[in-house]
Amino acid sequence: MAGRDWRAQKRDATRRRLTAAAFAVFDERGYDAVSVAEIAHAAGVSVPTFYAYFRTKEHVVLPDQDALWIGDHFSRQPADLPLTERIRRGLRAMTDDLPPEVLAELLSRWSMVLASPALLLRAADRQHASTTVLGDQLGIDLTTSEGAADVVVIAACLTAATTAFVRWAATGGERVLGDLLDEAFAALRSI
């Protein structure tokens, strides 16, 4: 068991080192001008090592969702609420729980997304993948005809959330992210 803990710590340290190196070279030269080889070199690892941790350069900025973390926040929402409100409250709980240093990193990530077409595409892919993650966490069978309407609701909610993140980044984080989420969901409810 101690061997697994050591290996997990080493993997986490390498992932953090790769992420820090990537953001350093992105800040210096711009996201689009940096190659995977340059990130690997800056982190002191090989290119194959980079790909052992990240599928693409875009995944450094917008990694896959942490289903356990999402599930923890959504499991606290009352199941008798309408689906849109459960999602809004779950997302708000997630953003409200973020410490200031994580919010600052998140703002940096979304600022990069705004500046790069490749990252905008990754954001769309991530949003699509999040539909499945969120459906699983909410106990919705997305393959049934009854789940079809829920897929549309989840996708609309995630689009509202992405809009809030983009607005937040566009203003340099001047507004409270949770408030922007609430505004986006209010707009969603008004249609």
Q: Where along the chain do its domains lie?
A: 2-57, 62-189
Q: What pLDDT digit, counting tens, does each position of 60-90 carry?
A: 999 988 888 888 888 888 989 999 999 999 9
Q: What pLDDT digit, counting tens, does each position of 104-159 carry?
A: 999 999 999 999 999 999 999 999 888 888 888 888 887 888 788 898 999 999 99
> Encoding tokens for residue 70?
């999402």
> Encoding tokens for residue 112?
């990069």
Asked whether the beta carbons of 138 and 131 are under 8 A apart, the reply is no
Q: Measured at the alpha carbon of residue 145, what is the angle toward residues 143 and 150, in degrees to the nearest 5? A: 75
Largest CA distance in the chain: 54
| Mean pLDDT over each residue of the chain, to the nearest integer | 91
Q: What pLDDT digit, counting tens, does each position of 9-32 carry?
A: 999 999 999 999 999 999 999 999
* Residue appearing with tokens 């999602």: 87
Fold match between domain 2-57 and domain 62-189? no
Number of Cβ within 10 Å of residue 87's Cβ equals: 26
Q: To which CATH superfamily is domain 2-57 assigned? A: Homeodomain-like (1.10.10.60)
Q: Name the band, by pLDDT with cuts 50, 70 and 90, for residue 41.
A: very high
CATH number of 62-189: 1.10.357.10
Asked whether the beta carbons of 134 and 71 are under 8 A apart, the reply is no
Asked whether the beta carbons of 109 and 122 are under 8 A apart, the reply is no
> Encoding tokens for residue 13?
């340290």
With 0.75 as the threshold, say if the pTM is over it.
yes
